[in-house]
Structure 1
Amino acid sequence: MIYTVTLNPAVDYYMDMNKLEEGELNKVNNSYTLAGGKGINVSKVLKNFGIESMALGFCGGFTGEYIRADLNKYGIKDNFILLEEDTRINVKIKTEKKETEIMGKSPKILKQNIDALLSIIDSIEDNDILVLSGSVPSSVKEDIYKDIIDKTKSKNNVRVIVDSRDNAFKIAVKEKVFLTKPNKKELSEYFGKDIRSVYDIIVYAQQLVKDGSENVIVSLGKEGSIIVNKDEAYIGNAPDGELVSSVGAGDAMVAGIVYGISQNLSIIDAYKYAIASGTATAFSEGLTTFENMNNLLDKVEVKKINLK
């Protein structure tokens, strides 16, 4: 079974407008709402690819009900811990020139809520895949991902994937995880360095491997991405196409590699699905379908980098 954990989900309210002027009345050309959150996005892309997963995390109030109803409509199973306070609302604004996000306030999560989640994690079985995605709410301690990973250590071959940042990410990496997916900025933040060149990205990604991440994918936007492990490094292209929205592209990359792993592919072959999934999402309004991802696979180029 594949489990995705979203500690800090949201109802994402998307708005498309010509321009955004602070202090003025702004006209919206188009708008829609979706159940958001990085782990939820991973579950949705996997569902689009015909792969079942169980969505875990916290949600509450009318917005929490919306998220669970949206997942149910999508055909995704969930076992969210219910909170008293409302799940946050995030606003994502796309204009002709840029994309802007406004992050809503997270609900308070109590100790009994966390204990309930850890109890569910305890039921994970051998060979399952666990995806830990997104930020940690301010009411939850920073080592929550460590506590979750600890629950899997008595099982065999549970592959843990972490896509987060800040101290929660730093603590989780030390627990020996299967894969992490920082972007270039997050890699720079992790090491406190201004990382720019491909050479530097590989050097610091190798250090992240030493810190505890068996595999590291560093996403570089339109410049492609790099995958590194203790033995080798590869650079992948970003297939040509028209950018519609970068929202969810990183989550689709995670879903793509999980899909490849679930099909018993090598990590490098699974990486090709990650590239195609992330790119197809960037070229779509919303998350990619299997067809759109599959149409890009033959445009994916992965080249080995000589580490000597």
Structure 2
Amino acid sequence: MIYTVTFNPALDYVVKVNHFTLGMVNRTVQEDIYYGGKGINVSAVLKTLGFGSTALGFVAGFTGDEIERGVKNLGFQSDFIRVENGMSRINVKLRSEQESEINGTGPEITGADVEKLFEKLEKLEADDVLVLSGSIPNSIDDGIYERIMERLDGRGIRIVVDATKDLLMNVLPYHPFMIKPNNHELGEMFGTVPKDEDEIIYYARQLQEKGAVNVLVSMAGDGAVLIAENGAVFSMGVPKGTVKNSVGAGDSMVAGFIAGYLENGNYEHALRLGSACGSASAFSEGLACKEDILKLYEELR
């Protein structure tokens, strides 16, 4: 079974305005609502690829009700924890000549709420996949990723971590099955700016030596590089297309990698499917559809 954790899911209210003017009344020309959160995005793309999953996390208020309803309509299971104080976030994403965002805070998550999450995670079994992704709400200790992995350590659960800098570095002693920094995040971890793919591979190997089983580095328009658990290096380019939306592309890559690996254990296939999923989402207004994923998969080399 696959489980995804979204600590602070949201309703993403995406509006388009022609020639947005600050301090004036502006009217939208297009409005969309998406069920946001990195783990939710992963679950949605996994569903598109034919893999079921259960979305975990915290929700509250009427917005939490809508997130639960929306996830159900997307076709995958959820087992969210209801939080008493506050409400799940509404993130406003304004698209005009420039893109701007106003992100909500989210509900207050207590220690008792976190313990409920631990109780759910205790039910995971060997060979299950757990995806931990995204930032940590202010009401939760920054060490939550480590605490989760420490509790599950040695149980044969394949944990995928998609986070930044310290959140990622601190979990390496627990041997995550896969981590996915981008090239900029990789450089930040080592206080440098990788100049080329060879340097990216060098620093990715450093993360592997610190404990990561597989290291997948996304490089936007330059493709992606995977350092597999056996030391093999796989590179993948990008297909031709117009980037319309960067939100969810990284999550889509994670979902595609997981699906590809679970299909046949072939890392080159996993990287290729992950790259196709990431590109398909980037070329879409929302998350990737299966038809586009399969088309781009055939184009990738």
Range of TM-score over shorter length: over 0.9
Bigger drift between 79-88 and 17-26 goes to 17-26
Aligned residue number for residue 191 of structure 1: 190
Task: Single out whichever of 222-231 and 75-84 deviates more from structure 2.
Answer: 222-231
Give me the whole-angstrom Cα distance separating, in 1, the residues matched to 2:267 and 2:154. Answer: 24
Q: Does structure 2 conserve the Cα–Cα contact (< 8 Å) formed by 1:106 and 1:138?
A: no
Q: How does 1:54-73 map to 2 (within 5 A)?
A: 54-73=54-73
**Which TM-score applies when normalising by structure 1?**
0.92
Q: Give, in whole Å, the separation in 2 of the partners of 1:103 and 1:196.
A: 33
Distance 1:189 1:143 in 2: 19
**What is residue 181 of structure 2 aligned with on the other side?**
182
| Secondary structure, counterpart of 2:177 in structure 1 | strand
1:154–1:184 CA distance, 2 compared to 1 (3 A): closer
Do 1:245 and 1:282's aligned partners in 2 also have CA atoms closer than 8 Å?
yes
The CA distance in 1 between the partners of 2:193 and 2:102, in whole Å, is 26
Equivalence map 1:103-252=2 (5 Å):
103-156=103-156, 158-229=157-228, 231-252=231-252
Consecutive unaligned residues in structure 1, runs of 5 or more: 302-308
User: CA–CA distance in 2 between the matches of 1:40 and 1:58?
Assistant: 12
CA apart distance, 1:154: 4.1
Structure 1 residue 20: Cα displacement: 3.5
Q: Determine helix, strand or coil for the equivalent of 2:28.
A: coil
- Between the aligned residues of both structures, percent identity stands at 39
Q: 124-133 or 164-173, which moves further after superposition?
A: 164-173
Are 2:49 and 1:45 aligned? Answer: no
**TM-score, normalised via structure 2 length:** 0.95
Whole-angstrom CA distance in 2 between matches of 1:262 and 1:235: 20
Give yes or no for contact 1:143–1:172 (8 Å, CA) kept in 2.
no
Q: Tell me how large the CA RMSD over aligned residues is.
A: 1.5
Structure 2 match to 1:86: 87
Structure 2 unaligned residues grouped into runs of 5+: none
Residue 193 (structure 1) shift: 1.9
1:196–1:60 Cα change, 3 Å: farther
Map 1:274-285 → 2, pairs under 5 A = 274-285=274-285
Against the structure 1 CA distance between its residues 225 and 100, is the aligned structure 2 distance closer, same or farther, given a 3 Å change threshold?
Answer: farther
Q: Give yes or no for contact 2:153–2:174 (8 Å, CA) kept in 1.
A: no
Aligned length: 299
User: Structure 1: how far apart are the matches of 2:26 and 2:215?
Assistant: 41
User: In the alignment, is the contact (CA less than 8 A) between 1:142 and 1:167 conserved in 2?
Assistant: no
CA offsets, 1:136-177, max 9 Å, x none? 111111111111112322423x21100011432221223110
